Structure 1
């Protein structure tokens, strides 16, 4: 029996599972067009191939777990940055910028890759939860900022995020994308309460 590297078997299993998910995330981020096998993921994590099968029934099962692990991380990253912004207007800009940072880091490419290999049910559920959880801090900032229709304005701002995300993935730098977002949104966010 392999020696465990944690104080309990449960902690060891959680650490091993997290290492496999991190390895899968890293491999997909490096090359979103090449879907790694469970053996590839185990090797990248420094674990035996059989270890991967003790945590996941199949490659699809592992990628479903990665979907449900990745989306909350995205929402937590954005939420943490938005919460730290000092004013409602800054929260709105920070929302856009935090999302663009993740796109530039490769997380959006990872999400796109996962959409092609995970089960559609896991993806649809996690994607809805991500978008719902992302909408909450943005709509709250918009309402606090004095926006008459926070839900509609959130949709407009999200369309800016989508467009700039595409531009980043087509080669625009994060700095240039952020500059465009600020140029477009600054008159609005500076207008009401700032």
Structure 2
């Protein structure tokens, strides 16, 4: 029986799965190619046969990674938005948090997964994630009185995509954040609760 390095078997299993997912994510972000179970196990500090106790195949592991990466991305964005009291500031938080996640390599993992493991399941997960990610932004824009919140959300998301391309081409994240803030700040400033209704000079 394998040695248990946690208070319970369930916690041990969760820790080993976490180690395998983190290892797969690291390798995928580094190489852009689906790693073998042996490579993932080695980086996680496990024997190759042990890895198969948690994931029955490389495809099984990659699907688990999709289910792990995408919801955590959405959670980070939602938490950043929730931390802002003014709805207008949540719009900027949405964009800047997405850019931060791209800079941290999360987007590279998602892109690599789509390239190395295309499947209906992955495409469905990607579409679901996109919808879940936009939901809080659409809600915020509706709260701000946007005439077409869904369309505005897509346009704001297009800024995120453009920022992603800049990052991938080598632009520093600080520079990208500055340009995005410069672009969005007039919109945000005009919709902040303390600024609404002020007379124009």
Question: Which TM-score bucket, shorter chain as reference?
Answer: over 0.9
Structure-2 residue corresponding to 1:104 = 103
Query: TM-score, normalised to structure 1's length?
Result: 0.95
Further displaced range: 130-139 or 1-10: 1-10
- Give ranges in structure 1 of 5+ residues lacking alignment: none
Structure-2 residue corresponding to 1:28 = 28
List per-residue Cα deviations over 1:49-106 (Å, max 9, x = no partner).
Answer: 1011111121111111101111001001111101101211110000000000011111
Match runs of 1:17-166 below 5 Å = 17-32=17-32, 34-166=33-165
Query: TM-score, normalised to structure 2's length?
Result: 0.91
Larger Rg: 2
Residue 39 of structure 1 and its aligned partner are, at CA, apart by 0.4
Residue 121 of structure 1 and its aligned partner are, at CA, apart by 2.1
Whether the 8 Å contact between 1:146 and 1:193 is mirrored in structure 2 is no
SS of the counterpart of 1:55? coil
Q: Distance in 2 between matches of 1:140 and 1:78?
A: 14
Structure-2 residue corresponding to 1:7 = 7
Q: Distance in 1 between matches of 2:85 and 2:26?
A: 33
Moved over 4 A (4+): none
Residue 145 of structure 1 and its aligned partner are, at CA, apart by 1.8
SS of the counterpart of 1:4? coil
- Give ranges in structure 2 of 5+ residues lacking alignment: 194-201
Whether the 8 Å contact between 1:61 and 1:118 is mirrored in structure 2 is no
Whether the 8 Å contact between 1:67 and 1:122 is mirrored in structure 2 is no
Whether the 8 Å contact between 1:68 and 1:122 is mirrored in structure 2 is no
Structure-1 residue corresponding to 2:188 = 189
